[in-house]
Amino acid sequence: MNILTIKNLIKHNIMKNILSLTLVLAFVCCSASAQIQVHSQAPVEKDFVGYLFPYFLGNRVHQEAIHFAVSMDGLNYFTLNENRPVLDSREISSTGGVRDPHILRREDGGFYMVVTDMTSHLGWDSNRAMVLLKSDDLVNWTSSVVNIQQRFQGHEELKRVWAPQTIFDKEAGKYMIYWSMQHGRNPDIIYYSYANEDFTDLATEPKQLFFPQNGRSCIDGDIIYKDGLYYMFYKTEGHGNGIKLATTNSLTSGQWEEIEGYKQLTDDAVEGSTVFRMIMSDTYIFMYDVYMRGEFHFTKSTDLKNFERIHDVSMNFRPRHGSIIPITRWEMQRITDKWGKPEELVVLPNNPVLPGFHADPEILHSKKTGKYYIYSTTDGHPGWGGWYFTVYSSDDLVDWTFENVMLDLRSDQVTWANGNAWAPAIEEKMINGQYKYFFYFSGQPVAGGGKQIGVAVADHPLGPFTDLGRPMITESPTGRGQQIDPYAFTDPVSGKSYLYWGNGYLAGAELNDDMTSLKTETITVMTPEGGTLQDWAYREGVVVFYRNGVYYFMWSVDDTGSPNYHVAYGTTTTPLGKIEVAKEPVVLIQNPEKRIYGTGHHSVINIPGTDEWYVVYHRINKHFIERRRGPGYHREVCIDPMFFNEDGTIKRVVPTN
C-alpha cells in the first residue's frame, strides 16, 4: 500500500509548474530589508523515469500532425491519445500539416518544439515555413509560424524548408534552430539561425551551418553534445542516400570533421535519425526511420561512432520522423492525465515526492494555513556543502509545489553562519493570539569551529524568516559530537515546548517561552545506550511525537552515506525521560531488491483528526550508491505510511518506489 492508495488515488497533476520555467522570487528577510533570489527548478537527471516520443504518421494530410508516445525503458513505446494528434495542425501551421517534430528541454526545464510546416500532397517543394512551439508543462503549447521567404530577403528561389531542430549553443548562450533548405537547383543545405528570447521568431539571418566536403545535399540534421564535441548525424540526399556523421567543437565555426562511412546498419532507405542518451547511462540510442518499411531501427553506442543493432524494441504504432527526450514522473503523470494512460504502461513510481536532491526532511502541518510544508537540507553539494533551505507546500501530501528559498546562510539573512545548512526543524506556536514559526537549523559558524544551532522566526510558514542573529546552541553537553539535527516538539499534555539535538549523542531541554532559548537547567542527555549498527546504535536525527499517552523517540543509525542508514525507535513516559528501546526497534531500513538504500533522517506527520500517520524520510538515490559517486549527499525525499500495532508498537515501514 502506498500514499496514493491511502489517499484514494487522489486525482492529481503532480508537481505542476515545478519543472517548467520557474523563476522564484524568494524574499528573505535581512533585518528590515528584503533580498530577491532567483532559483530555477529544472529537473536533475536522476528524476527522469521515462521517455517522450513526438512523431508524425505519414504523407496523408490527417497524418501530418504531432503525436505523442511514451516509454519507461527507452525501447518499448506506447502511443498516447489512441494515436490521435495532441495538437491540431490546422491551428498551428500555415499549410494545415506539420511533420518532423523535434522536442528539446530548455535549460530552465521547459520545452521547445519545432516542426516542418508542410503537407506533402502539395508537393515536396511546396513549403517555406517552420513552426516554433513552446510549453512549460508538455500539455499547453503556444505556436508561431516563421516563413523564411517572407521573414528574410534573398530567398526568392526557396523551394523547401525541412526538418528543423533546436539546440542550446553553449558558446553563444542562445537557442539555435537549424534546418535544411533548397534554393532553385542548388543542393539542400543545412542552415542555422538563433531564436529570439520568446522563441516566437528567428532573430538572425539564416547562415550555412555545415559545409560538406563534396558540396552535395544534406538534410535531417540531428545534433547532440558529448564530452566537448557536437555530433551531427545527417542524411545525404540524392547521392548514396544514408546517414553520416560529422563533429565539431564549435557549432558556428564551419569546421567539421566528417567521419567516414554511413552509420545506419541496414541496406534499406533511411532518414530522420534521432539520438538520445539513456537515463543515468553512458549508452546512446541512435534510431532512424526505415521509411519504406514503415519502421524504426534502434542501435546503441557509447562513443557515438560505433553502433550495435538492438532488436528487442516495440511500438504499438507506426511512426515517422520524430525525436525523444527523457521525462520525469511528474511530467509522465501530467501527459497521461491529459491524453490517457496506455494499458501497457507500468505503474508510475510513487517516490521521491520532491524533485532534485534533498535530505533530512522536516514536515509541518500548519493550523494557520491548513497546508503541509516540507523543509529540508539542500543536497547534491559535495561535502554536504549546501548553504540554503527550501520549502515546498502541499494540500494533500501528494502534489508538492516549490515555494521559495526561505533561509540563505550566505546572505545577510544569517550573519553568524555561512554554510553547511543542515537538518532543519520547525515548530508552529500560538503566542499572544498569533501563530509564530520557529525554524531551527544547524550551520557552520563564520568564526570557525564545529557546527552550531540557530533559530529564525516568522509569522508565516513561508516566511520571511528573521534569524536570531547568533547561535542558540554552541556546545555539546557531553563534550563530544556535533551540535546539529535539532528537533522541536510541543507536548500536547503540558503545552510546554522542547528542543532535542545532537550527533553522536542525544540531548533535550525545555524551551523558554520565547522559543529561542533553552531553560539550561533542564538540559538532559538522553542518548539510548548500547545497540549496534545493525539495530539501534544512536547516531543522529531524533524525532519526537506523542500518541495515546506515549512519547515516541525515533533516530537514525549508521552513517548517512551508508546503504544501512536506517531508523530505530524507543519510548518514554515524559518528554525528557529515559528512553526504553523497543523490542523490535528498526522501523525503516533499506530494501536492496527494490534498489532502496539509506532510508533515514526522517520526520513524522499525523493527519489532523485521524490516526493516520506518515513518515517523511530521505534515501540515497539508487544511481549514486557507489562510494565514489558521493551517496551521502545525493539523497531524495520520500513519503510512506506508518502503522501501529494494537499495543502501540510501530510496525516496520515498507519503503516504496
State the catalytic residue, choosing from 485, 540, 636, 640. Answer: 540
Q: Is 111 helix (H, G, I), strand (E, B) or coil?
A: strand
Residue 393 has which C-alpha cell?
Answer: 507546500
Of 630, 545, 643, whose CA–CA distance to 588 is shortest?
Answer: 643
Please list the residues that pair with 488 across neighbouring strands. Answer: 499
Say if CB 129 and CB 135 are below 8 A apart. no
Residue 122 amino acid letter: L
SS (H, E, C) 257-271: EEECCCCCCCCCCCE
Say if CB 506 and CB 526 are below 8 A apart. yes
Of 330, 322, 375, whose CA–CA distance to 349 is shortest?
Answer: 330
Residues contacting 203, CB < 8 A, separation 6+:
193, 194, 195, 196
Of 54, 131, 46, whose CA–CA distance to 335 is shortest?
Answer: 54
Say if CB 480 and CB 505 are below 8 A apart. yes
609 burial type by CB count under 10 A (0-12 exposed, 13-18 middle, 19+ buried): exposed
Of 191, 193, 186, 196, whose CA–CA distance to 211 is shortest?
Answer: 191
Q: Concatenated DSSP letters for 464-492?
A: --EE-SS-SB-S-TTS-SBS---EEEE-T
Say if CB 465 and CB 488 are below 8 A apart. no
φ/ψ of 336, rounded to 5, equals -80, -25
Give me the half-sphere count of Cα atoms (radius 13 Å) on the Cβ side of residue 332. Answer: 25
Residue with cell 504523407: 59
Residue 291 CB neighbours (<10 A): 17
Compute the residue count for the chain.
657
Residue 241 has which C-alpha cell?
Answer: 542516400
Is 360 designated active site?
Answer: yes
Say if CB 290 and CB 309 are below 8 A apart. no
Residue 316 CB neighbours (<10 A): 13
State the catalytic residue, choosing from 47, 137, 237, 360. Answer: 360
Of 430, 429, 457, whose CA–CA distance to 441 is shortest?
Answer: 457
- Distance between CA atoms of residues 12 and 15, nearest Å: 9
CA torsion sign for 131, 133, 139, 140 is negative
Q: Concatenated DSSP letters for 496-563?
A: -EEEEE-BSS-EEEEBPTTSSSB-GGG-EE-PPP---TTTT---EEEEEEEETTEEEEEEEES-TTST
Is 237 designated active site?
Answer: no
> In the β-sheet with 284-290, what is the strand arrangement from edge to edge?
271-277, 284-290, 295-301, 308-310
Q: Is 249 helix (H, G, I), strand (E, B) or coil?
A: coil
Say if CB 218 and CB 242 are below 8 A apart. no
- Distance between CA atoms of residues 546 and 542, nearest Å: 14
Catalytic positions, please?
Answer: 360, 540
